[in-house]
Amino acid sequence: MRLADYTQSRDNNFNLIRIAAALAVLVSHSFPLALGSKAVEPLVDLAGMSLGGVAVDIFFFTSGFLVTASLLTRQSVKQFAWARILRIYPALIVVVLLSVFGVGLFFTTQPTTTYLADAKIYKYLLKCSTLITGVNQHLPGVFENNPFKNSVNGSLWTMPYEVKMYIILACVWSIVRLIPANKVKVFKIVLVLSAAISGILLLLVHFHVVNTGGKSLKFFYMFFSGASFYILRDKIALSHTFFFLFLLLLVGALFNKHLFFVSYVLVLGYCILYLAYIPSGIVRKYNDLGDFSYGIYVYAFPVQQSVAALIPGVSVPVMMLYSSVVTLTLAVLSWSFVEKKALHLKEGWLNHRTSFAFPLCMPRSKN
């Protein structure tokens, strides 16, 4: 069956994939946060990349796939932007406030009045709550004696890139809408070419043929690769044979980091979509619980830094155990009382706009 046959339904494993990726980031961060900034996990020596790095790539790929589907379904930048804002910012603002006035106040070595009067905390609050100009990592006097010093929420550094991908996608759509004919076709061509060119550049950068882009290039490729898979969904067959061949290719390439990187760039997206749509049965029951991945991602780092501060010399396994329990609890609360309620606002607003302002717009998707 073609990928397009599966995308007609909302019954998939994306929530499960994303929570696995979020937990992988927690596991990956446990090494430097418990042992110091120079500590790395075993996968880095084996494959040349960290488990957390792979997880972030998964986030960007799945995001590109799902939000492109959302934009092409709604065909409205306003609706697209509103959906993205409600998915990202309510939970983000809560965790930033808790970091500044909860974690920060508790762990700072400065007197409370000095801490609250320091302009740095308000700069942190503003930058991390908006993401437009990057994020701050430092709060005065907080985690200064941890093995990984000063950083309050290191996971947030990827989120400005995510927002930039949304902005680029919306800008391309807005520009293409000015074309007299074949708007959607041109939009699709631009996205596919963007993924192809950035993928070639990514490989050239890896082999030091050119020197440009850095991590932003990789994020760009992953995001627009996901977008391209959605655009080309009618032409892509999800096959057991292809999946296991690609999996064997990745495992077989582990003996050479360069070969692994090339294989990884070429087949990661296909493997993600296979796992998102083909395995069914009991694994789909996870969807009944909720989508806790975002909460895990934004809460894990400050929780882990708190564990490191409260238990000096904490081991990596103990760090993983304590931080995963606390983080998952916070993620469940975030989903139940913040994120899910924000998504209801999104649907209510879209229903209102569809009824009174956009009677001809296409059916809405959940993403």
Give 176-212 pLDDT, tens digit per residue: 999 888 899 999 999 999 999 999 999 999 998 988 7
pLDDT at 84 over 90: yes
Residue 2: φ, ψ to 5°? -80, 155
d(CA 146, CA 67): 38
Which one has a higher pLDDT value, 353 or 18?
18
Which one has a higher pLDDT value, 367 or 227?
227
What separation in angstroms does the CA of 120 have from each of 29, 115, 116, 129, 244? 25, 9, 9, 14, 51
Extract the runs of DSSP E, i.e. beta strands, from 9-126.
none
Across the chain, what does the average pLDDT equal?
Answer: 92
Residue 266 half-sphere exposure toward CB, CA atoms < 13 A: 16
- Asked if 151 and 139 touch (Cβ cutoff 8 Å), the reply is no
Residue 107 neighbours by CB under 8 Å, 6+ apart: 141, 142, 143, 306, 309
Quickly tell me which residue has 């990514």 as its tokens. 202
Closest CA to 166 of 230, 274, 87: 87
Which one has a higher pLDDT value, 98 or 367?
98
User: What is the token pair recorded at 126?
Assistant: 């503003």
Residue 252 half-sphere exposure toward CB, CA atoms < 13 A: 7
Closest CA to 40 of 256, 300, 319, 316: 316
User: What is the token pair recorded at 146?
Assistant: 């941890």
d(CA 314, CA 308): 6
pTM score over 0.85 = yes
